[in-house]
């Protein structure tokens, strides 16, 4: 990211004296559709981020914000919801802080980023975390990173209308170079797991498709999981989420739940275990096992949870044929990216074959992003 562009624009609009902040996007190595089942996820902050240059402007409540990537300016008061969609993120972060007792005054800001939009790397969480961290530091508000993640999540819920979990904001706030974060989605306890894949690279390939099914299918999957958990709970009262259940418990209710609910629940219980196995393998530096678990996740997401699509399955097959260590759909499914753990020496050949064969088959050029695990939100 060319930070000089941000500085130059800030100076031309607002003069000297701004401070520079950043917060990253994220990947999730393994652990899909586990969050709303009380399970674990394994995200990491990446080297693609949002950046802002900001300073107080001496007003009580006027915000002047310039979105450099869009070349758009918006000016709004903190008691009036802005019209522009991107400005709602900034407004939401301010309002959530004010709700928590913070005193925020007017400020000027220029922001930009290199988190690809619509690729499942959480550009919106990066934006929320960037502003949350900047305002917290600039006005000395005293929020910890944990509260900043919750402020970002509440912004999505209350001002953008997206009922997201907390993983994206958590990863953006708590990211640490050379580590992934094993986050317990129920208790929000977390542990850093070493991720230093010497000789391997992480690559995302964006299918550049988004199938319509996503939101309605998501709700259906969620209902299936809740149904299965409620049947298990009749015999095992301690089971609050599928995270508390075992495959044996699920088998006990096989005749009571629908075949569809059964197979969805089976995927989730297996996926939670796969994530724990992958964490153990990472601690031992065993990236071959991690890769194997990633492939297992893809098969589960494709055949049991049925949230893949022909484009994602095609890229996963190409990865397997090229000898890629691990590959799977990343995110909710029905489009978006595959995440691939690739040996250095196979990287260029894999990318060439994947992009060429994909374009030939689907008449769409996929986008390729090499990512590195980096630190979370910070002042530069």
Residue 377 lies in a domain: no
246 is written with which tokens? Answer: 């075992």
Same domain for 208 and 165: no
Q: What is the CA radius of gyration of the chain?
A: 22
Judged against a pLDDT cut of 70, whether residue 215 lies above it is answered with no
Of 74-88, 116-130, 265-279, the poorest mean pLDDT is in: 116-130
Same domain for 267 and 244: yes
Residue 266 lies in a domain: yes
Instruction: State residue 109's pLDDT score.
Output: 98
Residue 370's closest CA among 341, 349, 346, 345? 341
Instruction: State residue 129's pLDDT score.
Output: 98
Band the pLDDT of 212: cuts 50, 70, 90. Answer: low
Judged against a pLDDT cut of 90, whether residue 355 lies above it is answered with yes
Q: Domain boundary at 196, 220, 243, which?
A: 196
Judged against a pLDDT cut of 90, whether residue 218 lies above it is answered with no
CA distances from 243 to 166, 239, 265, 283, 316 (A): 17, 8, 10, 22, 27
The catalytically annotated residue of 35, 74, 108, 168 is 168
Do strands 200-210 and 190-194 pair parallel, antiparallel, or not at all (unpaired)? unpaired
Of 22-31, 191-200, 211-220, the poorest mean pLDDT is in: 211-220
Q: How far apart are alpha carbons 104 and 376 in whole angstroms?
A: 23
Judged against a pLDDT cut of 70, whether residue 136 lies above it is answered with yes
| Segment (H or E) for 111 | strand 107-113
Judged against a pLDDT cut of 70, whether residue 214 lies above it is answered with no
Average pLDDT of 150-171?
91
Same domain for 180 and 223: no
Residue 22 lies in a domain: yes
Judged against a pLDDT cut of 80, whether residue 211 lies above it is answered with no
Is 168 considered catalytic here? yes
Judged against a pLDDT cut of 90, whether residue 318 lies above it is answered with yes
Residue 356 lies in a domain: yes
Full residue range of the structural domain in which residue 103 is found: 3-196
Same domain for 263 and 235: yes
Band the pLDDT of 117: cuts 50, 70, 90. Answer: confident
Band the pLDDT of 375: cuts 50, 70, 90. Answer: very high
Q: How far apart are alpha carbons 371 and 373 in whole angstroms?
A: 7
Instruction: State residue 162's pLDDT score.
Output: 79
Band the pLDDT of 213: cuts 50, 70, 90. Answer: low
Q: What percent of the chain has pLDDT over 90?
A: 91
| Segment (H or E) for 44 | strand 43-56
| Segment (H or E) for 85 | helix 85-99
Cα end-to-end distance, the chain, whole Å? 13
Band the pLDDT of 62: cuts 50, 70, 90. Answer: very high
Band the pLDDT of 282: cuts 50, 70, 90. Answer: very high
| Residue whose structure tokens are 């893809």 | 298
Count: domains in the chain: 2
């Amino acid at each position: 990211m060319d930070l000089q562009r941000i500085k130059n624009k800030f100076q031309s609009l607002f003069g000297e004296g701004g401070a520079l902040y950043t917060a990253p996007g994220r990947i999730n190595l393994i652990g899909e559709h586990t969050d709303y089942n009380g399970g674990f996820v394994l995200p990491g902050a990446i080297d693609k981020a949002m950046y802002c240059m900001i300073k107080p402007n001496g007003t009580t409540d006027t915000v002047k914000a310039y979105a450099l990537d869009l070349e758009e300016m918006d000016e709004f008061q903190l008691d009036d919801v802005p019209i522009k969609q991107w400005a709602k993120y900034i407004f939401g972060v301010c309002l959530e802080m004010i709700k928590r007792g913070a005193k925020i005054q007017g400020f000027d800001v220029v922001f930009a980023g290199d988190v690809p939009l619509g690729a499942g790397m959480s550009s919106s969480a990066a934006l929320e975390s960037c502003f949350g961290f900047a305002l917290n530091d600039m006005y000395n508000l005293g929020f910890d990173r944990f509260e900043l993640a919750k402020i970002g999540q509440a912004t999505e819920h209350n001002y953008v209308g997206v009922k997201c979990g907390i993983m994206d904001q958590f990863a953006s706030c708590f990211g640490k170079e050379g580590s992934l974060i094993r986050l317990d989605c129920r208790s929000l306890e977390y542990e850093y797991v070493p991720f230093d894949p010497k000789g391997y690279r992480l690559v995302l390939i964006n299918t550049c498709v988004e199938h319509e099914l996503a939101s309605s299918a998501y709700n259906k999957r969620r209902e299936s999981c809740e149904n299965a958990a409620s049947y298990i709970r009749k015999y095992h009262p301690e089971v609050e989420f599928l995270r508390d259940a075992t495959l044996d418990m699920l088998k006990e209710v096989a005749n009571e739940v629908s075949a569809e609910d059964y197979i969805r629940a089976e995927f989730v219980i297996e996926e939670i275990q796969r994530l724990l196995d992958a964490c153990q393998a990472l601690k031992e530096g065993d990236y071959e096992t991690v890769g194997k678990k990633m492939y297992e996740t893809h098969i589960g997401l494709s055949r049991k949870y049925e949230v893949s699509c022909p484009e994602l399955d095609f890229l996963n097959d190409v990865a397997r044929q090229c000898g890629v260590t691990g590959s799977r759909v990343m995110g909710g499914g029905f489009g978006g990216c595959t995440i691939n753990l690739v040996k250095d020496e196979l990287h260029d050949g894999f990318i060439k074959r994947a992009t060429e064969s994909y374009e030939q088959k689907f008449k769409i050029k996929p986008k390729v992003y090499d990512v590195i695990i980096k630190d979370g939100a910070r002042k530069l």
